[in-house]
Amino acid sequence: MKTLRIAGLAAVTMGVFLTAVPSFAHHSFAAEFDAAKCQEWTGTLTKVEWTNPHGFFYVDIKDANGKVQNWSFQTYALITLRRAGTSLQLFKDNIGKDVWVRGCLAKNGKQNYAAAGSLKFASDGVVRQMGQLQD
Amino acid sequence: MTTSRPVAACAAVLALICLQYAPAGAQAPKYTITVMPPGGPAPRLPDGHPDLSGHWLPNSAGQGVSGRDGVDPAARRQFDPKVTPEERPAFQPWAEAKIKAMTPVELELSKSSVNCMPRGLPAIWLQNPYSTVIVHTPAMMAQLYEVLNNWRLVYTDGRPVPKDPEPWVHGTSTTHWERDTLVVNSSGFDERTYVMPTGWFHSDAMKVTERYTRPSKNYLIVEIIVDDPKVLTHPWKSAPRRWTLGNGEVYEFYCTNNHELDELGKLKEQESYGK
């Protein structure tokens, strides 16, 4: 806990100084997600929630035992996705198709939930930024 | 206001233009999104003052930069700290202690963005990653914020401040022109907003000064001064922050699906058990 608090104070101090660029996310990635627990997944896109302050997309992913688990991935706010060229229609067009995701797990241990950093639809092979890239 | 202030302001604006804008030919070719050129002269209102109207993005690119590749770092920022450094706010000891006592999760839970609360003034100009549309007439400046579909009206017709103004997240404002700079003085704030997402809270005594200049068609410069003697030992002044002219595409942002409070709340519980 002490380490966490020191890290927090350092973050606060740095945050006060490093204000040249606005925080481009809705909130701090580091507070909610673990940059030390980032990984890649492949699976089938099942659903998208086109909402604010974050969007979410859902992917059926096979676990180590071959059992399919439905994961949810948080994205940037929709404004950011749209200005970067990612639309709701793009997600809709890829429902039921293969995707690759890189992201980081939630610190609170919520199962099958992560912040998406990058997403690639198998249909076009383009890697798109979905959130803060931590590694 | 001393006589040197306008001269210093002009010098700062010129420094921004000269040092942060580089012609396209001087950019490294790896960048596909670069600093937007200044454009021609700023438009003028019928009364001769600069017209601040436009769709303004909080970066130097004139387009979205977050979540995109090939962005020149100079295009991402609103100011260069090496050119116009921004001092650290000088907190009263009790305020500094209050902020330092917060854990990262508590800090996160305090943020307006996490709570889907309006940023308020001055945060809307200091911690807003989304665009703002300004509609400016000689009598009024309407500010339409993309984030939370929020808005604010700043009257420039000289009307007096109400005797008992309500505590508003944007305060109550009076305005005047100093040459081509629109100065907006505001007080009477709702205490639930934060100045910065660093735990920097404010008191009911906070007064905010905004200084708006439009040195060219594509640039809006906003400087903020925060005077809050209950929280700060002396007023804090921001760097002159550049907003650049966008293409007018504004998106809806209603906060309808906020998971943050639940997820962070669980994390806070876990931290409490771990203490």
Asked if A1's CB is within 8 angstroms of B275's CB, the reply is: yes
The pLDDT tens digits for A104-123 are: 999 999 999 999 999 999 99
Predicted confidence at residue B163, as pLDDT, reads 85
Asked if A12's CB is within 8 angstroms of B253's CB, the reply is: no
Predicted confidence at residue A3, as pLDDT, reads 40
Q: How confident is the model at residue B112 (pLDDT cuts 50, 70, 90)?
A: confident
Question: Which residues from chain A sit within 8 angstroms of residue B102, using beta carbons?
Answer: 8, 12
The pLDDT tens digits for B157-192 are: 998 888 888 999 999 999 999 999 999 999 999 999
Quote the number of domains for chain B: 1
Predicted confidence at residue A132, as pLDDT, reads 82
> Under the phi-then-psi rule, with left for phi > 0, alpha for psi from -120 to 50, and beta for the rest, what region is A65?
alpha
Q: How confident is the model at residue A26 (pLDDT cuts 50, 70, 90)?
A: low
**Rounded-to-integer distance, Cα B40 and Cα B10, Å:** 17
Predicted confidence at residue B29, as pLDDT, reads 65
B259, B264, B270, B272: best mutation site toward chain A, by most A Cβ within 10 Å?
B259
Q: Is residue A17 part of a domain?
A: no
Quote the number of domains for chain A: 1
- The tokens describing A133, both together, are 């890239």
Q: Which amino acid is at A131?
A: G
ipTM of the complex, rounded to two decimals: 0.82
Minimal CA separation from B275 to chain A, in Å = 6
Residue A76 structural domain: 26-129
Predicted confidence at residue B110, as pLDDT, reads 86
Alpha-helical (H) ranges within A34-107 are: 78-83, 88-93
| Count of other CB atoms within 10 angstroms of residue A31 | 22
The beta strands (E) that lie in chain B are given as: 54-57, 132-136, 140-145, 150-155, 172-178, 181-187, 194-196, 200-201, 207-216, 219-227, 236-237, 241-245
Q: Is the confidence at residue B10, as pLDDT, over 90? A: no
Q: How confident is the model at residue B275 (pLDDT cuts 50, 70, 90)?
A: low
Predicted confidence at residue B86, as pLDDT, reads 94
The pLDDT tens digits for B139-165 are: 999 999 999 999 999 999 998 888 888
Q: What is the mean pLDDT of residues B47-64?
A: 98
Q: What is the mean pLDDT of residues B121-133?
A: 96
| CATH for A63 | 2.40.50.140
Residue B203 structural domain: 4-274
